[in-house]
Amino acid sequence: MILLGNDNLIFIKKEDIKFISIPIWIDYVFYNDGKIEKRQICVIGIKDSKLDIHLVHPITEFIMSFWQNKAFNTQKKHANNIVKFLNYLVKNYKSLRIDSILDIKINNGNMYLNTLTEEGLKKDTIKNAEQTLSYFYKWLSDNFNTQLPKINVKYGKFGEFLESPFSPVYPAATPKNIEHAFPPSYIPLFFEVAIAVAKPIALGLYMQFLGGLRVGEVVNLTRNQVLKTVSQHGMTLKLMNRNLRPDLKENSSVKKKRFQIVFELNNWTNSLIKDHLALYKSSDHSNPLFVNAAGKAMSARSYRQYFEKVKKVFIDLLINSSDIEQKMLGMHLNQIKWSTHIGRGTFSNLLAEFAENPYEIAQPRGDNDLNSSLAYIKRSVRIHEKIQQKFSNLHEVYIPSLIERED
């Protein structure tokens, strides 16, 4: 254990004492004007479990050296991380052959971090603990006569950071159980399946894959929200919240009101819009773009039911293909979860392939506030042309033999 006194770094054998983190309130003085205010900080202490008393330990200086002016939660995070490490050292001081903190080696940090992996903690949690240990080892190296190597400070685009001296075994990456995208070359096939088996939502899927719309944004559309259809640039939609089905408990919503471009693929935009408007008409004054069999606004639940039909036929076509790549994709999509959101994910992947900065992904996805101005979108002509070129080339790699066409 670490003792209070002249030598605060020596261990003793006392199982009923452990390190703890302690939140306390202090009077914080601002030197510029002498103002005093109450402020909460997190310190490191030792607790005697038999006597049920605790004391603030001088090793708190480690926390104050790096995070004195940081928020309480930041101090608490690092204090908790170092407390757990110190208690590990105390518990295992015999096998680690540690009599003092000055005896700590890099390997002790690695062994501790590996125990976190064995506990089943997530990689991010272990990386967080590793960051705190890196600062702790630097503090020891800078302030005490230890055999520890110097911990280097490096500089990156987000500021300075410490180069970790550790090399622990991190947990294996957890395999994802939800698919967010599939190869863009299969988008045309997916649309053709939708037209064949779920035509009421074919236009909606087109909007999701080529405009990144969420299902709630699709079913919220009315006919007059399709502002413009231009073969060169696709269509422009005005997304806004409307309660088109007040009779339902479910209320689909638009996450962010905006003008949204839906890009062109194979000159399909005009024909899809024309066919959809002719076939599916509203029976009420709300004038929804997507309707059910009764002419009322389609619910998100009904939309997802149509989507499941498309999904099943699409997977069957791939699995029954003689092409091994298509068969493997079909088997993968059959074994993993995916939903209507795969349209937005695939759209985002296409943007990421050629975007030169984050804004060129966020803006077409509708992640930035477009200030309700159609002209704001038109100012980004260059990115629209690049996106359009990408979508226009999809048909060049599409293999149409999976669907028999009528002459």
| 362-400 confidence digits (pLDDT tens) | 666 666 543 323 332 333 344 556 566 666 666 555 544
Number of domains in the chain: 2
DSSP 178: B
pLDDT of residue 9: 56
For residue 193, give the CATH number of its domain.
1.10.443.10
Query: Are residues 278 and 362 located together in one domain of the fold?
Result: yes
| 147-199 confidence digits (pLDDT tens) | 888 887 777 655 677 889 998 888 876 656 788 888 888 999 999 999 999 99
| Neighbour tally for 339: CB within 10 Å | 15
Its sign, for the CA torsion 380, 381, 383, 388, is positive
Query: Are residues 202 and 252 located together in one domain of the fold?
Result: yes
Nearest to 388 by CA among 207, 287, 261: 261
> Across the strands, what pairs with 87?
none
Query: Are residues 360 and 219 located together in one domain of the fold?
Result: yes
Query: Are residues 44 and 100 located together in one domain of the fold?
Result: yes
**How far is the C-alpha of 13 from the C-alpha of 375, rounded, in Å?**
73
Interval 123-128 mean pLDDT: 92
Query: Are residues 188 and 69 located together in one domain of the fold?
Result: no
Tally of CA atoms within 13 A in the half-sphere of 274 that contains its CB: 7
86 vs 325: which has the higher pLDDT: 86
CA angle 133, 134, 138 (to 5 degrees): 115
Q: Which domain holds residue 237?
A: 184-402
302 vs 69: which has the higher pLDDT: 302
Report the DSSP pairing between strands 53-56 and 153-156. Answer: unpaired
Q: Residue holding tokens 């960051």?
A: 131
**Would the pTM of this model clear 0.75, i.e. be above it?**
no
Query: Are residues 158 and 198 located together in one domain of the fold?
Result: no
pLDDT of residue 77: 95
Distance (Å) of CA 197 to CA 93, 213, 310, 313: 68, 21, 6, 8
pLDDT of residue 176: 62
Instruction: Tell me the residue length of the chain.
Output: 407
DSSP alpha helix (H) spans, 92-122 = 93-96, 106-118
Interval 57-70 mean pLDDT: 91
pLDDT of residue 372: 29
End-to-end CA distance of the chain: 85
**How far is the C-alpha of 352 from the C-alpha of 350, rounded, in Å?**
5
pLDDT of residue 371: 34
Query: Are residues 232 and 355 located together in one domain of the fold?
Result: yes
pLDDT of residue 358: 55
**How far is the C-alpha of 211 from the C-alpha of 261, rounded, in Å?**
6
Query: Are residues 156 and 220 located together in one domain of the fold?
Result: no
| 14-42 confidence digits (pLDDT tens) | 667 889 999 988 877 666 676 777 888 99
Chain centre distance of CA 337: 17
